[in-house]
Structure 1
C-alpha cells in the first residue's frame, strides 16, 4: 500500500493528511509511474468532485448541493482518527444499504466497480455522510490554489519525495527512484500539505 496523500483524498485524492485505515494506494510502482491521484483509498475515491483531485465536473453519482450542508467537513489539521471516523461511517452506511464491499481488503473497502441500482441508491442515501475535503484543497474555493500547489510540490521535493506535478495541477507522479520509506513519504506529504495550503504563501 502506498502512503496516503492528503490531496487525493484529493483526487486528490486526494489524500492527505490521509487516514491510515481507509485510503488504498493499491498496486506497485517502478518509482516513476504512479499518479498522486491514484493513491487514494477505495472510500475516498467516492469523494466530492470539489476536491482538487482532477476529477473535474459533477459526476452523475455525486451528492446534491442540498446534501452538502449536512456533510462532515474535514480540516487540513484533521487527525487520522477523525478522518477515519468520517470515512468509516460513510463506508458503513454504503454497506448497510447494499453497496458491494471488497472485504478481503478490510471492512470499509468499497467496491468501486459496483454500478448497480442498489449501489446508486446507497450512495444517494449516504450522501450526507460523505466527508467534504478541506476548503483549502478545493480549487473552486481557494483562490490561491495554483500557488499553494506549486509550493506543495516544491516542499515534497525539498523533503526528499521526488515527484513532478501533472500539467493541470491535478496530481503528481514519482520521478526517479524513491529513497523514503512509505511511512516517511506519508509524513512528508502531511507536512507539506499543511505548510503549502495553510496560508503561509499568501
Structure 2
C-alpha cells in the first residue's frame, strides 16, 4: 500500500491501496472515499481511518475558514469528524448532481472512473464544497514542505510505523507488514503530522 500527499490542489494525505486514490491517510483495504486533483477534483478510494471521532474527541464545532471561492479550509488540527463532515457534504453534492458513486464501498465513495459529461458538470457545480487541505501540507503554500515531509516520515518510523518515503516526497510505502492496529496507526499519523508540519516555528 502506498500513501500520498495530494499536492495538486488539496494538499492532504492520500493513500492508494493498489486500487484507487484516497483523500486522507488510509490504512485499511479498499472502500471509502478519496480525492483527485484537477479542476475541482473528486474524492475517491479506500476506507479511511477518519470515519467517526474517537471517544473524547471533539466533533465538528465552528465552521472552518473559507477561501475566496467559499471552499472550506481545513487545519492540521481539524478533527476527524470535521474533515469527514466536509468531505461528506462534497460527496453528497456530487451524487445529487449525478456523479457515479461506488455505493458498495460506502455512501461517500466517488467513482473516479466516471468521466462523463454529467460527472464533469457535477464536479464544476460542487467545486466550492471541495475542502482545501491544510496549507502546511501543500508544496504550493509551504516552502518547507520537503523538510517537513522528511521529518514526518522520520517521526512515523520513530514511533514504530515502519515506512519508506517515495523519492519525490509525495508519499510513502510500508516497509514490511505493520503490526500496529488501525487505531494505533491513525494516532501515530496524527501525532507526526502535527509535530512535523505544525510543531515548530518556520
The verdict on a shared fold, with TM-score over 0.5 as the criterion, is yes
Cα-to-partner distance string for 1:148-182 (whole Å, 9 max, x where unaligned): 11110110000000011111100011112312112
Q: Which runs of 5+ in 1 are unaligned?
A: 17-23, 29-35, 50-58
Residues 132, 99 of structure 1: CA spacing in aligned structure 2 closer, same or farther, 3 A cutoff?
A: same
1:148 corresponds in structure 2 to 148
Distance 1:153 1:170 in 2: 11
More helix by share: 1
Count of residues in Structure 1 that have an aligned counterpart in Structure 2? 170
1:15 maps to 2:38: no
2:197 corresponds in structure 1 to 197
Runs of 4+ residues over 6 Å off in structure 1:
9-13
Q: Is the 8 A contact 1:9 1:44 kept in 2?
A: no
1:45 partner SS: coil
1:173 partner SS: strand
1:55 corresponds in structure 2 to none
Residues 10, 88 of structure 1: CA spacing in aligned structure 2 closer, same or farther, 3 A cutoff?
A: farther
The more displaced of 91-100 and 175-184 is 175-184
2:35 corresponds in structure 1 to 45
Cα-to-partner distance string for 1:31-88 (whole Å, 9 max, x where unaligned): xxxxx99949764323xx4xxxxxxxxx3x437xxx8631000000000111011000
Q: Is the 8 A contact 1:13 1:38 kept in 2?
A: no
Deviation, 1:140, is 1.1
Distance 2:24 2:76 in 1: 18
1:62 corresponds in structure 2 to 40
Pairwise CA RMSD: 3.1
Distance 1:123 1:162 in 2: 36
Cα-to-partner distance string for 1:7-43 (whole Å, 9 max, x where unaligned): 6466887438xxxxxxx86569xxxxxxx99949764
1:157 corresponds in structure 2 to 157
Which structure has more relative contact order (CA 8 Å, sep 6+)? It is 1
Q: Which runs of 5+ in 2 are unaligned?
A: 42-66
Distance 2:98 2:107 in 1: 14
